[in-house]
Amino acid sequence: MIRVFNHYISSAHLYLQVMEWMILVLVFYYGSYFFIQADPFVAFNETLLTAACAIAILFSLSFSSVGMYRRMTFTKKHRFHIRLLFGYLLPLFLLYACNCLWPQNVVLQSISIGGLAFVYFVIWAVHAQFYRIGDMEKFKRRILVIGCDNLAKQLHSTNASYVDSSVAVVGYAHFGNKTSTFKNTITLTNNGDLTKACKDLRVQEIVLAMDDKRSALPLDELVELKLSGISIIDLLTYYEREERLIYLDLLSPSWFMFSDGFRVSWFRWASKRLFDIVASVTILVATWWIMLLAILAILIESGWDAPVLYRQVRVGQNNRLFNMIKFRSMRVDAEKNGAQWAMENDDRTTVVGRFIRKYRIDELPQLFVVLKGDMSFVGPRPERPEFVEGFVQTVPYYKERHRVKPGITGWAQLCYAYGANEFDTRRKLEYDLYYTKNYSLFLDMSILLNTIEVILFGEGVR
């Protein structure tokens, strides 16, 4: 993992994306020369190279937006090919539109004809080779976990279920005569055992995962290992980097005081507000006709005197209440018995409502709330006051998610399915705290880009 503007991203997937971009540039550039029947080794065309670079970026962003750079996508072959097809078609339609607007542009014609035929097969081949190599242990970061109790077991379980893991746990070390259920257990009894284990196992990083914080550690050895180039981190930092969440069970007030992040500045506020306005206006201009069709469909199904919009009070930044607006997707009497969670296959949802929820069309009216300033385009999901009041009492640090404006889409919405109970709320809070701690314009744009996958494939809908 590497950190870009406080956000952790997979270094392997970044290398894959850059490598694919370079290959696409070459494919488009030399494919274009084939179309215009010129020798690329005789005449260098700067205009053609610039266009090839721009179109390669367009394809790279499109592939990223449909989830192509996630290990989970490639492990399911049908899922990979569907996303590759969508990632291929989105920029293809844009290039076709540009060709219609500028039919005499030789650069556009040559690139679209000369290079696009190779793109699908090139991307498939690169992904297949990349993940074949990426599965090899020698390309993963070698870590030694100090601890063999519950926290270490949870780390082991998390790594086993995480298909995108970039680390290889080479051992679980403990001190004294403790018993351990791990196969690769290392018992440290004498001074120098830890140093020897790190050398023998070629350890690159040590993760401290002891249940008992009062456990005696070989501090002299740890300092020596740190100064020799081995990274030493605690479990909170490990989860933040690898899972991109703040592990709630390990949090303490001192962590909030001494950790980096949670910065507040005029520049961050201004850049986020500008991003909200530009993104909202752009999407409103692009989707006004979809909103009109949604209004018409709701009226036809429910009657011309039925309400089209659904207004509900939600908790915003600094616990300020505001009215959230959506297209109505449930029956008018959906909450006659009081506030309740939306459930999977909820029978209160209308036929039209099920469709507009699946493709997030019901969220479009919230763009006006963003323009008003009550919400941001990206941020934690706004909750109802009735639910917030209970969560503040039962879920630690829940109120801290209200340090930023709530959003239409967000980090927790992308990383975790719809939550309908307190357990899900705790898990989503871990992602919300990560966003609150590390949010930036870069992270907002990354979340917005990845939201396209959710819209196209209707994931996480209830």
Q: Which residue did the predictor score with more confidence, 104 or 88?
A: 88
Mean pLDDT of the chain: 84
Q: What is the pLDDT of residue 74?
A: 54
Query: What kind and span of H or E run contains 83?
Result: helix 77-101
* Sequence-distant (≥ 6) Cβ neighbours of residue 246 within 8 angstroms: 236, 239, 240, 430, 433, 434, 437
Q: What are phi and psi of 165, to 5 degrees?
A: -60, 130
Average pLDDT over residues 40-63: 78
- Please count the other Cβ atoms lying within 10 Å of the Cβ belonging to residue 235: 20
Indicate the DSSP class of residue 362: G
> Cβ-count burial of 245 within 10 angstroms (0-12 exposed, 13-18 middle, 19+ buried)?
buried
Average pLDDT over residues 309-320: 94
Q: What is the pLDDT of residue 56?
A: 87
Of all residues in the chain, the percent with pLDDT exceeding 90 is 38
Q: Which residue did the predictor score with more confidence, 122 or 366?
A: 366
Q: How confident is the model at residue 313 (pLDDT cuts 50, 70, 90)?
A: very high
Strand pairing partners for 172?
A: 145, 185
Q: What is the pLDDT of residue 417?
A: 74
Query: How far is 358 from 143, CA to CA, in rounded Å?
Result: 41
What distances in angstroms separate CA 183 from CA 135, 156, 179, 180, 187, one per listed residue? 21, 12, 11, 8, 12
Query: How far is 149 from 272, CA to CA, in rounded Å?
Result: 43
Taking only the tens place, the pLDDT of each residue in 284-304 is: 999 999 999 999 999 998 888
Distance of CA 163 to the CA centre of its chain: 15
Q: How confident is the model at residue 462 (pLDDT cuts 50, 70, 90)?
A: very low
Query: How far is 51 from 239, CA to CA, in rounded Å?
Result: 41
What one-character-per-residue DSSP string does 203-217 give?
Answer: --EEEE--S-TT---
Average pLDDT over residues 340-366: 82
Query: How far is 198 from 225, CA to CA, in rounded Å?
Result: 9
Choose among 272, 361, 379, 255: nearest CA to 317: 379
Q: What is the pLDDT of residue 184?
A: 83
Average pLDDT over residues 74-93: 75
Domains of the chain: 2-134 (no CATH), 137-244 (3.40.50.20), 266-457 (no CATH)
Taking only the tens place, the pLDDT of each residue in 376-417 is: 999 999 999 999 999 999 999 999 999 999 999 999 988 887
Taking only the tens place, the pLDDT of each residue in 159-199 is: 876 656 778 899 999 887 677 778 888 888 888 889 999 99
Tell whether the model's pLDDT for residue 38 goes beyond 60: no
Q: What is the pLDDT of residue 281?
A: 95
Taking only the tens place, the pLDDT of each residue in 113-151 is: 556 667 777 788 888 777 777 665 667 889 999 988 889
Per mean pLDDT, which range of 154-163, 255-264, 442-451 is the poorest? 154-163
Q: What is the pLDDT of residue 156?
A: 87
Tell whether the model's pLDDT for residue 13 goes beyond 90: no
Tell whether the model's pLDDT for residue 374 goes beyond 80: yes
Average pLDDT over residues 22-44: 69
Q: What are phi and psi of 380, to 5 degrees?
A: -60, 150
Asked if 316 and 344 count as a contact pair (C-beta separation under 8 A), the reply is: no
Q: Angle 403-154-454 (CA atoms, 0-180°, nearest 5)?
A: 50
Query: How far is 148 from 171, CA to CA, in rounded Å?
Result: 10
Average pLDDT over residues 232-240: 93
Tell whether the model's pLDDT for residue 434 goes beyond 90: yes
